[in-house]
């Protein structure tokens, strides 16, 4: 009989994936972790009953949270990732050879070790890159206390449940801002607006007092069910989000980076939002 993984993110809506083989399962100090194989999506990482990433579609999520802000900024040397223990965000970030240093702050060392062993294609050697630094710490405390600064801060968090709930608060966002260099960009994971609209409303209201330009952009990731996924955008440079496709295309061409989802057209088009999302800003 087939064993099924039944996602528990929503009480009234969900998905289930067949568990063809369990590769690893552990209840760590911070969360319940499982890595299993699925015939359609390959290897799947889930935390506390919620799918975090899969080999099949992870490239969409990771490319959009890295290449978009890096190319919009245009002169990135230092990047900070909060979360990201699977390594996919580090992999895509370090494709940019002009980046000098990447700091990844992950609260749970078990996630990093198990993903290194059972999901090696996600980090694809990024954990061994000399530009990579791993810090095991609470992300909210880290941004509040560090003296270092970064050009881009990427919040690759789980949903606002359990240990990640603090990563959606205004105090955390204020900490992220203090970590940014002048003209820096903060990007965040903000769920699927159609079924998680409260995340958009709360994030917008908490970022708006802190940054001159606050917005969201979209991409469709199949295993994040319910429609397009939203990523938060915040910067004090009003011009970065408005760059035209030709400018982004020139920057992208100079990088010689291979992608499977991201293109300059996708970059500029992703900032166009549907009316139901715009209404969430008014609540």
Write down the H helix ranges in the chain.
Answer: 58-73, 88-93, 109-118, 120-123, 139-145, 170-179, 197-207, 245-255, 264-269, 275-280
Q: Does 48 participate in catalysis according to the annotation?
A: no
Adjacent-strand bridge partners of 216: 232
- Residues 6 or more apart from 208 whose CB is under 8 A from it? 214
Place of tokens 């069910």: 225
Closest by CA to 140, choosing from 197, 183, 179, is: 179
User: What letter would DSSP give residue 98?
Assistant: T
Please, are residues 217 and 233 in contact by the beta-carbon 8 Å criterion?
A: yes
Q: What are phi and psi of 269, to 5 degrees?
A: -70, -25
Considering only CA atoms, give the Rg of the chain. Answer: 18
User: Exactly one of 48, 86, 151, 156 is catalytic; which is it?
Assistant: 156
Dihedral of the alpha carbons of 198, 167, 55, 267, in degrees to the nearest 10: 70
Known catalytic residues are: 156
């Amino acid at each position: 009989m087939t064993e099924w993984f039944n996602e528990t993110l929503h009480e009234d809506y969900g998905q289930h994936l067949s568990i063809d083989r369990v590769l690893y399962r552990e209840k760590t100090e911070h969360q319940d972790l499982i890595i299993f194989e699925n015939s359609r999506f390959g290897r799947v990482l889930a935390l506390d009953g919620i799918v975090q990433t899969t080999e099949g579609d992870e490239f969409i999520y990771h490319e959009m949270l890295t290449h978009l802000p890096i190319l919009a900024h245009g002169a990135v040397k230092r990047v900070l990732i909060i979360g990201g223990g699977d390594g996919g965000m580090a992999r895509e970030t370090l494709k940019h050879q002009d980046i000098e240093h990447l700091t990844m702050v992950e609260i749970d060392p078990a996630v990093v070790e198990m993903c290194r062993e059972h999901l090696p294609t996600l980090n694809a050697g990024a954990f061994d890159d000399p530009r990579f630094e791993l810090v095991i710490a609470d992300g909210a405390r880290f941004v509040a206390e560090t003296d270092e600064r970064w050009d881009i801060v990427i919040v690759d968090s789980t949903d606002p449940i359990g240990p990640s709930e603090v990563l959606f608060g205004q105090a955390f966002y204020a900490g992220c801002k203090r970590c940014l260099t002048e003209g820096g960009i903060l990007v965040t994971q903000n769920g699927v607006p159609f079924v998680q609209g409260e995340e958009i409303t709360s994030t917008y209201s908490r970022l708006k007092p802190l940054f001159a330009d606050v917005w969201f952009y979209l991409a469709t990731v199949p295993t994040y069910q319910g429609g397009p996924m939203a990523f938060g955008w915040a910067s004090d440079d009003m011009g970065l989000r408005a760059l035209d496709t030709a400018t982004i295309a020139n920057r992208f061409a100079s990088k010689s980076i291979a992608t499977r989802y991201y293109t300059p057209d996708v970059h500029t088009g992703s900032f166009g939002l549907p009316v139901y999302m715009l209404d969430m800003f008014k609540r």
